[in-house]
């Protein structure tokens, strides 16, 4: 087990560095810079700004400085939001993204697992077909279409829920963003649970459990779910990445000041330190989560460790 964890960590660290380096190279290779879009600055002023942010140094010094900053988790100062450090912006916007992301994932997990398990237990019933058709719809409908349609129904027609804005953590404003974000994971998790459960329900150990006289309830909850949910556990890694890209859209639609919204703004503004800071933060979080998922998976399923 220890060897497995060490090997995973040894892969994770270079991966994080690769992501950040790719982003850095893309930004530096691209024509133009932060100032080229703005109104023309007098050369003297542009020169002094470039000096201030170290943009006049050779590339290896800039790269080294960025990387050294990231190692110390200090991402520098934003060009656009003057005087604000990237760390401040991340600290301010992360709770927003985390709130809707975590709520959406929990909701998706609960609904998806229940719907998927029932569909598998009642395979080929009307319930099975309807829930799987709904799941397919959830996968097919883009969240930027679903979100506005929900707003149209629940805010602009029925006046039940506010359409946008961030008003702190437990608030009615979160309902629509969370629903919009979780729809696709609900659908994926329901499909994965159904497929996993169908496979497990046919296996020998379930037959044994039934043969020794366990109630159907015990068979499903104690034995089948444990094996049947393995695909869902291994989907957690990709789901986190998806969740992240999902929040970008949801934050745009509902005007929430989250990480994703700042990232899009930074990309449009060419705010280099902010772009690299957010990418680095996302890469580190995502890959650490993946690491945890892998370790959890290896713990739950002993076969993985010895591959």
Partner 1 sequence: MAVAEADVHPDEAGTFVHGTSLWRDAWRRLLKNKLAVLGLVVVVVVTLGSIIGPTVIKGVFGFTPDYIPTHNINATRSLPPFTGPGGEFTWTHPMGTDNAGRDQFARVLQGGQISLFVGILSTLVSLLIGVTYGAVSGYLGGRVDNVMMRIVDVLYSLPYVIVVIVLLSMFRSQTPRGQLILLFIALGSVSWLTMARIVRGQVLSLKNQEFVLAARATGVSTTRIIFRHLIPNTLGPVIVYATLTIPQIMLTEAFLSFLGFGVQAPLASWGSLASDGIQNIAIFPWQLIFPGMTMALTLFSLNFLGDGLRDALDPQMRTV
Distance of CA 38 to the CA centre of its chain: 33
User: Which token pair is 307?
Assistant: 């591959």
**Cβ 42 to partner 1 shortest distance, Å:** 26
283 near partner 1 (CB under 8 A): yes
Q: Which is nearer to partner 1, 125 or 215 (CB)?
A: 125
Q: Which is nearer to partner 1, 209 or 272 (CB)?
A: 272
15 near partner 1 (CB under 8 A): yes
Return the SS3 of 34. Answer: coil
75 near partner 1 (CB under 8 A): no
The residue within the footprint of partner 1, chosen from 65, 165, 245, 301 (CB under 8 A), is 245
Per CB under 8 A, contacts with partner 1 among 141-160 are 141-142, 144-145, 148-149, 151-152, 156
Phi, psi of 189, deg, nearest 5: -65, -40
Phi, psi of 158, deg, nearest 5: -90, -15
Phi, psi of 85, deg, nearest 5: -80, 155
Number of residues that bind partner 1 (CB under 8 A): 48
244 near partner 1 (CB under 8 A): yes
Which long-range contacts (C-beta less than 8 Å, at least 24 apart) are formed by 168-171?
A: 169/95, 169/99
With vertex at residue 237, the alpha carbon angle to CA 236 and CA 243, rounded to the nearest 5 degrees, is 80
Q: Rounded CA gap, 76 and 138, in Å?
A: 40
- Which parts of this chain interact with partner 1 (CB under 8 A)? 11, 14-15, 18-19, 22-23, 26-27, 29-31, 123, 136-137, 139-142, 144-145, 148-149, 151-152, 156, 198, 237-238, 241, 244-245, 248-249, 252-253, 263-264, 267-268, 270, 275, 279, 282-283, 286-287, 290
């Amino acid at each position: 087990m220890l060897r497995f964890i060490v090997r995973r960590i040894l892969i994770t660290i270079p991966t994080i560095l690769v992501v950040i380096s790719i982003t850095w190279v893309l930004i530096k290779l691209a024509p133009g810079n932060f100032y080229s879009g703005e109104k023309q600055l007098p050369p003297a002023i542009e020169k002094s700004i470039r000096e201030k942010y170290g943009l006049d140094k050779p590339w290896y010094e800039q790269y080294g400085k960025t990387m050294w900053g990231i190692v110390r988790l200090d991402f520098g100062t934003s060009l656009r939001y003057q005087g604000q450090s990237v760390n401040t912006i991340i600290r301010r916007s992360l709770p927003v993204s985390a709130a809707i992301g975590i709520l959406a994932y929990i909701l998706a997990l609960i609904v998806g697992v229940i719907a998927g398990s029932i569909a598998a237990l009642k395979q080929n019933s009307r319930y099975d077909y309807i829930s799987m058709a709904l799941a397919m719809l959830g996968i097919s409908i883009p969240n930027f279409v679903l979100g506005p349609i929900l707003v149209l129904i629940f805010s602009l027609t029925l006046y039940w829920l506010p359409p946008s804005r961030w008003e702190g953590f437990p608030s009615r404003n979160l309902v629509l963003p969370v629903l919009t974000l979780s729809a696709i994971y609900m659908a994926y998790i329901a499909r994965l649970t159904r497929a996993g459960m169908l496979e497990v329900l046919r296996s020998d150990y379930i037959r044994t459990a039934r043969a020794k006289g366990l109630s159907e309830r015990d068979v499903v909850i104690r034995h089948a779910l444990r094996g049947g949910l393995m695909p869902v556990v291994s989907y957690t890694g990709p789901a986190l990445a998806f969740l992240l890209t999902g929040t970008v859209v949801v934050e745009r639609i509902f005007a929430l000041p989250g990480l994703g919204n700042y990232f899009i703004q930074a990309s449009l503004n060419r705010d280099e330190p902010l772009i690299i800071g957010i990418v680095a933060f996302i890469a580190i979080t995502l890959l650490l989560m993946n690491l945890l998922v892998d370790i959890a998976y290896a713990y739950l399923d002993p076969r993985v460790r010895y591959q």
